Chain A
Amino acid sequence: MDSLLSATANGLSLGALYAVMALGFVVIYRATGVLNFAHGAILLTGVYIASVVSQAHGYAPGALAGVGAGATVAVVAETVFLRHSKTRDHITLTILTLGLNILLVTEVSRRIGTHTLPLHDPIGNALTRFGGLTLPTARVLALVVSLVVITAFLLAFRLTRWGLAMRVSTADAEVASLMGVRLSVVSWTSWAIGGALAVISGLFLASFPAPGVTPSLADTAFRAFPAAVLGGLGSVGGALVGGILLGLAEAFAATYEGALGSWAHNLSGISAWLLLLVVLLLRPEGLFSARTVRRV
């Protein structure tokens, strides 16, 4: 029973982080129709800068600098590379972000080398107890911060002019720009938000119980892909549900893989992908995407 409870708590916290990251994918996808494969690179760059800055100036300025750097890299990627591409084909542009990802990850990995950089966060490896449940404080905080970030995002999406512009331009870009929405502004703010969200989740994914900043952090962004796709790429609610579902699946797999026998060894590493395969087999465009009717 205890293991069930702690798996649920861990899964929720991990899932909230995936949801934050998946939200970044969805925002960028809605604004530009591109699936941002450079998410992992943005995350890694931001967290790397956070680690370097926090070495000299403490954790809070470091974290801020990291989030800022993530947003900046994303905006540069959008304004320099995507906007100036001749092609408007979304699949080709997605491959472009894949190239950016390889480029950035190679460079940052070269700088990190074989070290594990510490984040200098004040929480460290402290534990929090609720009743019979013991959790790393960093994970509890991750859950709280994720919920705050997600709420703030949803409010902005529903209530602000930016959110309105964003929703309108997804629905019909041409009409939106005729009504005075500046699509370029919507697009780069969305990339900035996506980049910042990636680094926020990255900061928690690099802190306890993870060892610190290593190049493999870029791969964790890949774990958020299925979260974004599971719900249907353009769906904000889908990203949240997808993130939580995958976090739970991973935590349960990690807890119970030992009991399932030898075939399930390390199952938690691929549980997200297996779940995605099953879901897309049943619903090829994700759980929450509107079913498009096409007549032939």
Chain B
Amino acid sequence: MSRARALVAALLVALVVAPHFLDRFWLQVGSLTMAAAIAAIGLTLLVGVAGQISLAHAVFVGLGAYGYIVLAAPSDAAGWGLGLPTPLAAIGGVTLAGLAGLAISPLSGRVSGLYLAVVTIGLVFIWQHALQEVEDFSGGYAGRPAPELSVLGLSLGESQPWHIAQVPYGGAEKTWLLSLAALVCAFVAARNIARGRPGLALAMIKENEIGARSLGVDVRRGRAAVFGLASLYAGVAGVLMALTTQFVTPQSFGFQLSTDYLVMVIIGGVASVRGAVAGALFVTVLPRVLGQYTDGLPFLARVGSGGIDANVLSVFVYCALLLVVIMFARGGLDRLLGLLVSSRRASAVVGH
């Protein structure tokens, strides 16, 4: 275990100093990955721990992102806005996503399994419809810019760069650090929930509903609560996404994003918080890096030429990985991490 702790500490230090050395592209990919990891952690609590499949995760991520923008931006030509202080707006965006998750508790509490999967697909389509119709809210196809965050006069955006050891820290660097802080909190909280009493109750609901009920677990409330919690995580991810990309469009919060999150959770390994992070890293980084280096990779065609381009190839790779994980290796990336982190003796004892 001590080796694992040392590795985690080294990784954390590396992530904290990373903005000092990375360029803008990598910083943005990193922040997006951390946002995706937070969303995936939320979904893994819902799908992995509680056994409830949801394809509506993108809706709550989108609510977080748009919630932040609408609360923070002043009303102008781009759409409605309340012009609140940005930290309040960020909290508001997260709360909005969480409340929306709780608001559908009559459904998420009662409907289960595959029925819930189909209902949540419906939520995605209804949400997309609403975004397209209410252009004052979403900015229509053109999308809306996200105001930069500033906490108590301290700007976390591009406008006032910090200078740390002669390196200017602009928006990308600051967002990286903010995302990292959020990810660490989200990770620790999720681990404690999954390992503590609530996690036990949820796992019980997943394995045996009647058994859970007879042991005094309120099944309906448990299901609704974990759905709300997952939405809260999604909301945090949405705010961070808006801050990273500084611009959001309705199309980015559709069905595909939902399936991406589900893929992250599954290839990460069932019910594993650190696996979800690994899955998010894989699914987020792969297409962007392949896209960035298309010119140097002879087997890749340009996007739109009809050949196998970066996006198509990364879809092939991550779907193949999904199939392999489901068919042969249920542990997924989590198991792989476990082999890396733990010493041989420990894995020989635990791993059979």
Residues of A at the B interface (CB closer than 8 Å) are 35, 81, 84-87, 90-96, 98-100, 102-103, 106-107, 110, 113, 222, 225-226, 228-229, 233, 263, 265-266, 269-270, 272-274, 276-277, 280-281, 284-286, 294-296
Q: In whole angstroms, what is the CA distance A87 to B325 when docked?
A: 10
Q: In whole angstroms, what is the CA distance A133 to B189 when docked?
A: 63
Are B326 and A233 closer than 8 Å at their CB atoms?
no
By Cβ-Cβ distance, the 6 closest A-B pairs, closest first, are A273-B122, A99-B322, A103-B319, A284-B110, A85-B327, A35-B114
Which one of A90, A284, A296 lies within 8 Å of B214 (CB-CB)?
A: A296
Given contacts A294-B210, A296-B213, A296-B214, A91 and B327 within 8 Å (CB-CB): no
Q: A91-B117, A99-B319, A106-B312 are in contact. List 19 more A-B contacts (CB 8 A).
A: A85-B326, A87-B326, A91-B51, A91-B53, A91-B113, A92-B326, A94-B53, A110-B306, A225-B118, A229-B119, A233-B114, A266-B132, A277-B122, A280-B110, A280-B115, A281-B107, A281-B110, A284-B112, A294-B210
Are A222 and B126 closer than 8 Å at their CB atoms?
no
Which one of B129, B326, B327 lies within 8 Å of A270 (CB-CB)?
A: B129
Are B126 and A265 closer than 8 Å at their CB atoms?
no
Q: In whole angstroms, what is the CA distance A286 to B326 when docked?
A: 29
Contacts of B214 in A (CB 8 A): 296
Q: How far is the CB of A30 from chain B (nearest CB, A)?
A: 13
Contacts of B306 in A (CB 8 A): 110, 113
User: Is B125's CB within 8 Å of the partner chain A?
Assistant: yes
Q: Which of B29-37, B67-75, B156-164, B258-266 contacts A (4 or more CB under 8 A)?
A: B258-266
Given contacts A102-B315, A270-B125, A81 and B327 within 8 Å (CB-CB): yes
User: Is B121's CB within 8 Å of the partner chain A?
Assistant: yes
Contacts of B326 in A (CB 8 A): 85, 87, 92-93, 95-96, 99
Q: How far is the CB of A266 from chain B (nearest CB, A)?
A: 7
Q: In whole angstroms, what is the CA distance A130 to B210 when docked?
A: 57
Which one of B115, B259, B327 lies within 8 Å of A284 (CB-CB)?
A: B115
Residues of B at the A interface (CB closer than 8 Å) are 51, 53, 106-107, 110-115, 117-119, 121-123, 125-126, 129, 132-133, 210, 213-214, 259, 262-263, 266, 270, 306, 308, 312, 315-316, 319-320, 322-323, 326-328, 330
Are A102 and B319 closer than 8 Å at their CB atoms?
yes
Are A266 and B327 closer than 8 Å at their CB atoms?
no
Q: In whole angstroms, what is the CA distance A103 to B312 when docked?
A: 9
Nearest residue in B to A294 (C-beta to C-beta)?
A: B210
- Dominant secondary structure of chain A at its interface with chain B: helix
A selection of 13 A-B contacts at a CB cut-off of 8 Å is A85-B326, A91-B114, A95-B266, A96-B326, A98-B259, A99-B319, A99-B322, A229-B118, A270-B126, A273-B122, A280-B115, A280-B119, A284-B111
Are A94 and B106 closer than 8 Å at their CB atoms?
no
Given contacts A91-B51, A113-B306, A280-B119, A100 and B323 within 8 Å (CB-CB): yes
Are A281 and B323 closer than 8 Å at their CB atoms?
no
Contacts of A294 in B (CB 8 A): 210
Q: In whole angstroms, what is the CA distance A277 to B116 when docked?
A: 10
Are A110 and B308 closer than 8 Å at their CB atoms?
yes
Are B114 and A103 closer than 8 Å at their CB atoms?
no
Contacts of A233 in B (CB 8 A): 114-115
Q: In whole angstroms, what is the CA distance A86 to B316 when docked?
A: 22
Nearest residue in A to B133 (C-beta to C-beta)?
A: A265
Q: How far is the CB of B214 from chain A (nearest CB, A)?
A: 5
Q: In whole angstroms, what is the CA distance A106 to B328 when docked?
A: 24
Contacts of B323 in A (CB 8 A): 81, 96, 99-100, 103
Nearest residue in B to A229 (C-beta to C-beta)?
A: B118
Contacts of A269 in B (CB 8 A): 125, 129
Q: How far is the CB of A285 from chain B (nearest CB, A)?
A: 7
Contacts of A226 in B (CB 8 A): 118, 122
Are A222 and B117 closer than 8 Å at their CB atoms?
no
Contacts of B330 in A (CB 8 A): 86-87
Q: In whole angstroms, what is the CA distance A291 to B307 when docked?
A: 51
Are B115 and A229 closer than 8 Å at their CB atoms?
yes
Are A266 and B319 closer than 8 Å at their CB atoms?
no
Contacts of B126 in A (CB 8 A): 270, 273-274, 277
Are B259 and A102 closer than 8 Å at their CB atoms?
yes
Q: In whole angstroms, what is the CA distance A96 to B312 when docked?
A: 19
Which one of A81, A94, A103 lies within 8 Å of B117 (CB-CB)?
A: A94
Are B121 and A222 closer than 8 Å at their CB atoms?
yes
Contacts of B118 in A (CB 8 A): 35, 225-226, 228-229, 276
Q: In whole angstroms, what is the CA distance A95 to B330 when docked?
A: 13
Nearest residue in A to B267 (C-beta to C-beta)?
A: A99
Q: In whole angstroms, what is the CA distance A96 to B308 when docked?
A: 23
Q: How far is the CB of B129 from chain A (nearest CB, A)?
A: 5
Are A106 and B125 closer than 8 Å at their CB atoms?
no
Given contacts A85-B326, A100-B323, A280 and B129 within 8 Å (CB-CB): no
Contacts of A284 in B (CB 8 A): 110-112, 115
Q: In whole angstroms, what is the CA distance A265 to B140 when docked?
A: 14
Given contacts A99-B323, A110-B308, A229-B115, A277 and B259 within 8 Å (CB-CB): no
Q: How far is the CB of A78 from chain B (nearest CB, A)?
A: 13
Q: In whole angstroms, what is the CA distance A85 to B322 when docked?
A: 12
Q: In whole angstroms, what is the CA distance A35 to B323 when docked?
A: 16
Q: How far is the CB of A83 from chain B (nearest CB, A)?
A: 10
Contacts of A228 in B (CB 8 A): 118
Q: How far is the CB of B185 from chain A (nearest CB, A)?
A: 28
Q: Which one of B123, B210, B259, B319 has the highest number of Cβ atoms from chain A below 10 Å of its Cβ? A: B319
Q: How far is the CB of B332 from chain A (nearest CB, A)?
A: 11
Which one of B210, B262, B312, B327 lies within 8 Å of A98 (CB-CB)?
A: B262
Contacts of B132 in A (CB 8 A): 266
Q: Which one of B118, B119, B121, B259 has the highest number of Cβ atoms from chain A below 10 Å of its Cβ? A: B118
Nearest residue in A to B263 (C-beta to C-beta)?
A: A99
Contacts of A84 in B (CB 8 A): 327
